[in-house]
């Protein structure tokens, strides 16, 4: 008896049509004159916030003014010099202990102007659940990691790997978690973070 794998592959091979060429992903893609303005404006429109900053101090000063940050008791920052970290991933037994975490502060590599997304990998995050468990997500991205659109993002993106060569997880995250499943009314803060902010660091 051939295995299911063989049966499926045989059927597919027998039924697939004559090969058609793979197209080039080429075109005149959208460009933005004010790319930072576009990125921050887009974040604003999806209930998030974007800031262009020159120093870590400036990030700390901005954070200090955020009500979510002011009332936070459990903060986990993976960005040295940003925020007062009170939760350390290494001291947790498992990701589940991240429940009730108020704030996560993480680094991202890329930011995409057309959709407000940032590319974050868990190569340097012991528990990737951090990104989804935190009530509020703060992201720091180098300003030169801002690209206009997804094609440029994939041109720059390298699939993340851990030190031992295992592949890591990566995600484009655009704004806080949200749902419109009840009568199409948008509610920010579904199962994941209730708010997010992105700092473009020059």
Partner 1 sequence: MSHATLATEFVADRKRAAWHDSALWFVRSKRDKCAQALPEWESLREIASQIKQHTSSRLAEYLEEFERNATANGIQVHWARDAAEHNAIVLRLLQERNVKLLAKSKSMLTEECHLNPYLEKHGIEVVDTDLGERIVQWRNEPPSHIVLPAIHIKKEEVGELFHEKLGTIAGEFQPEYLTEAARVHLRQKFLEADAGLTGVNFAIAETGGFVVCTNEGNADLGASLPSLHIASMGIEKLIPKLHHLGVFLRLLARSATGQPITTYSSHFHAPRLGGELHVVLVDNGRSKLLASEEFRRSLNCIRCGACLNTCPVYRRSGGHSYESPVAGPIGSVLGPARDAAKNASLPFACTLCGSCTDVCPVKIPLHHQLLAWRKELADEKLVPADKRFAMKMAGLLFRSPWLYATAGRVGRFALRFAPRWLVYNRLNGWGRQRELPPAPKKSFRQLFRERKK
180-199 positions binding partner 1, by CB under 8 A: 180-185, 187, 189-193
Q: Which of 44, 88, 96, 202 binds partner 1 (CB under 8 A)?
A: 96
Binding to partner 1 by residue 151, rule CB under 8 A?
A: yes
Q: How far is CA 184 from each of CA 33, 174, 178, 181, rounded to the nearest angstrom?
A: 33, 19, 11, 6
Q: How far is CA 150 from each of CA 26, 43, 177, rounded to the nearest angstrom?
A: 12, 16, 20
Helix, coil or strand: residue 132: helix
Pairing mode, if any, of strands 103-107 and 136-142?
parallel
Q: Are 45 and 192 in contact (CB under 8 A)?
A: no
Closest distance of CB 49 from partner 1, Å: 15
Binding to partner 1 by residue 25, rule CB under 8 A?
A: yes
Stretch that binds partner 1, among 25-33, 60-68, 71-79, 81-89 (CB under 8 A): 25-33
Distance CA 147, CA 63 (A): 25
At which residue do the structure tokens 């994941």 appear?
A: 192
Q: Record the tokens describing residue 85, joined without a space.
A: 């970290």
Q: Are 140 and 107 in contact (CB under 8 A)?
A: yes
Q: Are 200 and 36 in contact (CB under 8 A)?
A: yes
Binding to partner 1 by residue 163, rule CB under 8 A?
A: no
Q: Which of 61, 64, 124, 159 binds partner 1 (CB under 8 A)?
A: 159
Tell me whether residue 83 or residue 135 sits nearer to partner 1 (CB atom). 135
Between residue 55 and residue 94, which ones bind partner 1 under the rule CB under 8 A? none
Closest distance of CB 55 from partner 1, Å: 29
Tell me whether residue 65 or residue 182 sits nearer to partner 1 (CB atom). 182
Q: Which of 35, 52, 89, 127 binds partner 1 (CB under 8 A)?
A: 127
Q: Which of 1, 19, 93, 163 binds partner 1 (CB under 8 A)?
A: 19
């Amino acid at each position: 008896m051939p295995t299911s794998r063989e049966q499926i592959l045989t059927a597919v091979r027998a039924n697939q049509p004559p090969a058609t060429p793979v197209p080039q992903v080429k075109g005149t893609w959208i460009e933005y004159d004010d790319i930072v303005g576009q990125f921050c404006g887009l974040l604003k429109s999806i209930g998030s916030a974007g800031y262009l900053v020159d120093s870590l101090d400036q990030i700390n000063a901005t954070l200090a003014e955020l009500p979510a940050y002011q009332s936070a008791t459990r903060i986990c920052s993976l960005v040295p010099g940003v925020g007062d970290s009170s939760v350390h991933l290494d001291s947790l037994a498992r990701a589940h202990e991240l429940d009730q975490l108020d704030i996560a502060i993480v680094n991202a590599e890329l930011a995409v102007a057309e959709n407000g997304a940032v590319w974050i990998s868990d190569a340097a995050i012991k528990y990737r659940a951090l990104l989804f468990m935190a009530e509020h997500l703060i992201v720091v991205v180098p300003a030169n990691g801002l690209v206009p659109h997804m094609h440029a993002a994939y041109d720059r993106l390298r699939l993340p790997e851990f030190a031992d060569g295992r592949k890591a997880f990566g995600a484009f995250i655009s704004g806080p978690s949200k749902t419109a499943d009840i009568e199409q009314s948008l509610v920010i803060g579904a199962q994941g973070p209730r708010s997010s902010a992105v700092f473009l660091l020059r």
